[in-house]
Chain A
């Protein structure tokens, strides 16, 4: 049993209380500790990803209780990829928060940040459906604190909506888990997978109900239509670094859909046949459209970026809806891309807003570093809208290739391509209003706000660099993800890894 598997949960869990109670008055100490934690986490995540590159699902039995009686953490390729993604994103975001001083505009930023990482890592690692709920709550309660970090009227009220929405979602999650437990008698994911496959066809109605309820819960997290409406208000009003970190939160929903609907309710399960394709495909298509129109119609920069996140979640879920191993691997590639591109945009927008004073899309005097920020915005917008050479282009191309064999391929292609076009128009308009129209305005030299320091620019460039790297190393990355998807659709490997030690112990 490899004890490193639990490290991504334990490390932030230990660090966060220290940050909250011991280092609460010393921001420098808190920054050093938080950054050290994030670097260590990245190291652990890289180690685990390399461990998983060798193949094979690794299981961590807490307290060495055999599954399904005890709690398990499961590390497979998907978990390893998601952990690595979280660690890299958190490094970039934390750097930005420290360099811009966002972390010092309210209390307990670093403690909440670490708790958030603990919840996200736990959700990616857990092999137990109820613990998935618990880790969801951990990451949510930390996100409530981060969402209203540094306060302000609009932020508090948007935060209230966000909290109410997620509390309702959590209640639904519990209803779904209760239904699942009542029909199967277990909540361990591997054991659930076995039980659901062995069920007689007469008992499957309630399982199907639970599956659809769970889908709704995860769709809320993943911001799928018709439950996507919480996202724009939340992301637009959250502090920018927090919005950048939240780029991974929607992916937690996508991850949960991928995990539960491949391992437990896989394509070979008759009880839930077609649930994903029937429900997710139309929802994803409308999500893309909603995101694209939102981008076009937004009057402010932050809401526009939030809508582009909605659109990218739609594209991601279209690939998931195809529900084949190849399409799943393209979905995962697009997931990596959309996380970094959303983060890059939000971090950049923070720099722009800091120099401009507001994020309204009207002609205003130019920002201090008009040329540099415009170039960065151009690059980030290329990434998000999906034009070459960044990974958005490859990602969308792969997604479209992934759904090529589906009966609804024409619809998916049309929506993705037209959605991209509308998004490009929206971003082009925003960029030209902010950076070009401003140069026509006269401005006195002394009115210029302070420039962003190189330290503040690095995180944005780093996020863009990651997009470029994702594009440069698309071959190896896609190869790893294809093996990940194959592993996902072969549920027996997961089941064996979790349950076989128990069977052997009983002999």
Chain B
């Protein structure tokens, strides 16, 4: 199970980093989401991986239990990353509507006026 979780985190992170380095807003948003999934799984695993172990101490029997704190941290992280992704989508949408394209790089002198129309949307 450790190998599965570890490789899942690795694949998600690699995918996220690759997507975040793209030049368009949409892949970058996907990349940020992938990264936040990766970090959520990672945080969850910091309390050690255990199957069938509720995060509750049992006073009367010696049953296995798991660390509840990472689960609380993950919940917080999920809420925050969800909100942040929403904000990111709204800002990306705003930038797209303002600029008519979703390229993420800003070129020198571009903010002084419109690009010639044939330059728009060439590099994907």
Contact = CB atoms under 8 A, between A and B. Distances in A.
Interface in B72-87: 73, 76-77, 80-81, 83-84, 87
A171 B73 CA distance: 13
B20 A168 contact: yes
Interface in A152-201: 152-154, 156-161, 163-164, 167-168, 170-171, 174-175, 177-179, 181-182
A474 interface: no
B95 A159 contact: yes
Contacts of B98: 151-153, 156-157
A164 B84 contact: no
B42 A163 contact: no
Contacts of B88: 160, 163-164, 167
B106 A168 contact: no
A482 B60 CA distance: 55
A175 B43 CA distance: 7
Contact of A164 (B20, B36, B43): B20
Contacts of B104: 157, 160-161, 164
Contacts, number: 97
Contacts of B92: 160
Interface residues of B, number: 35
Given A163-B87, A168-B20, A182 B25 contact: no
Nearest to B76: A134
A217 B108 CA distance: 28
B94 A156 contact: yes
A158 B43 contact: no
Given A156-B91, A157-B99, A167 B84 contact: yes
A137 interface: yes
Nearest to B9: A175
B84 A137 contact: yes
B28 to A, nearest CB: 6
A291 B76 CA distance: 37
Contacts of A8: none
B106 to A, nearest CB: 6
Nearest to B103: A157
A233 to B, nearest CB: 7
A164 B32 contact: yes
Interface in B51-85: 69-70, 73, 76-77, 80-81, 83-84
A148 interface: yes
A141 interface: yes
A168 B28 CA distance: 10
Contacts of A153: 95, 98-99, 111
A168 B17 CA distance: 9
A141 B83 contact: yes
Contacts of B28: 164
Contact of B36 (A154, A171, A181): A171
A165 B76 CA distance: 21
A102 interface: no
A441 B20 CA distance: 48
Given A159-B91, A160-B92, A178-B46, A130 B99 contact: no
A144 interface: yes
A177 B43 CA distance: 8
A179 B42 CA distance: 9
Given A134-B76, A174-B43, A178-B39, A141 B84 contact: yes
Contacts of B77: 174
Given A130-B73, A164-B20, A171-B36, A178 B84 contact: no
19 contacts: A134-B76, A151-B98, A153-B98, A159-B95, A160-B88, A163-B88, A163-B91, A164-B88, A167-B35, A168-B32, A168-B35, A171-B38, A175-B39, A177-B43, A178-B46, A178-B73, A182-B45, A182-B46, A233-B106
